[in-house]
Structure 1
Amino acid sequence: MRVPEVRLVGPNGETVGIVPTPDALRLAQEADLDLVEIAPQGKPPVCKLMDYGKFKYENAQKAREARRNQTNVIIKEMKLRPKIDKHDYETKKGHVVRFLNAGDKVKITIMFRGREQHRPELGFRLLQQLADDVAELGFVESSPKQDGRNMIMVLGPHKKKADAKVEAKTAKEEKAAERAADEAAEKAERTAANAARPTSTPKVKRRSENLDPDIDL
């Protein structure tokens, strides 16, 4: 740190006061803790004595818990015509079933053309039929309402479906993080083992000269 002094906070949140930076570093070393700058914009900057490794771990745990509790639901859209034939209806319904099974919301849009705009009951009945057909998988989150030439209804998946999707995603992320941590630990162990291995001093081989005893030097 380049500042001459800091406003120091103790490991339990107690205010120590403004102290010279070298003194703050010395206190951190004596307590076997880290001096972490938590408010650099302060005058002087605010620093806290803490175990930075533990701090990062706890923050990661909180972030993981927050991801587990949030509901990240995607909205899909399905468009139908008021006078859709039975085969097309079954195909469209199959898509809606798949979306709801995946934990996604589905926006159903009935598109009216020409004289169909004067028969809104056709769209309403079709939306009601679809809602009834998929009632085991989802519920009507937004009731049918007219929006210009279209009629819109939103189906939401039952909560257990959405939760299952979020939990599966979180479990996948946690597994990947654990695998990365294991690989990093193995790499660190290999590095430490290589560093601890004694370095052999190369032997200097001296070449002896064979002198002929009969040769006069």
Structure 2
Amino acid sequence: MATSLEDIISNELRINERIRVPEVRLVGPNGEQIGIVRLEQALQLAREHDLDLVEVAPGARPPVCKLMDYGKFKYENAQKARESRRNQSNTVIKEMKLRPKIDGHDYETKKGHVVRFLRGGDKVKITIMFRGREQSRPELGFNLLRRLAEDVSDDGVVEQSPKQEGRNMHMVLSPTRKKSDARADHEVERARKQAERQAEAAAEKAEEARLREASKKETKPKKKRGPADNMDPDIDV
């Protein structure tokens, strides 16, 4: 199995003055082949470009060295490793159990759960449970799993094909989207719903304020009319 550059460098191979060979096969920072050069020349090129000389293949004759920003590379490599571990730890396998002769209503309900799991970025293990004489008809399980895989194909793909183990048959579905993407969409949807609730609350408050103002106008006492108010303004007193 070939060893990647990341795997080689993770072993803290020699860099710059720690390299103790007379000449090296030099690779440029963009992967270009410079050729076999004296170690002093390779170190000089590294200094001129403000880069490090890293021995990436010490077993070669002569050893292969590459010009790179070693500190930046180690940092980026560590970030990738942490992200990979985080993704692995976030991988959850849900399980959904079905009977080979499941009725239509139950099938739709369980299919809805499978779709919800997949859209959430989780894998789903589908288990068909056989009982009694059903074990002699494995095609019922195969057909049901194939139907389910087709029905949820927009959200998941078959990672592990149907396999029978004793009285049960299993299939694993993998989400078509990453869990991080699903989580981001969930956050967007949650923010949208929160904005809608805030807008509805603001509209309700505005309506309540309008009704209060209208009520105040209706209950405002009318000015009492005095004797002078009943006199004809054209009559001289």
Q: Which TM class, normalised by the smaller chain length?
A: 0.3 to 0.5
Q: What TM-score does the superposition give when structure 1 sets the normalisation length?
A: 0.45
Q: Which gives a bigger RCO, structure 1 or 2 (Cα 8 Å, sep 6+)?
A: 1
Which has more radius of gyration?
Answer: 2
Structure with the higher fraction of residues in helix conformation: 2
Q: What TM-score does the superposition give when structure 2 sets the normalisation length?
A: 0.42
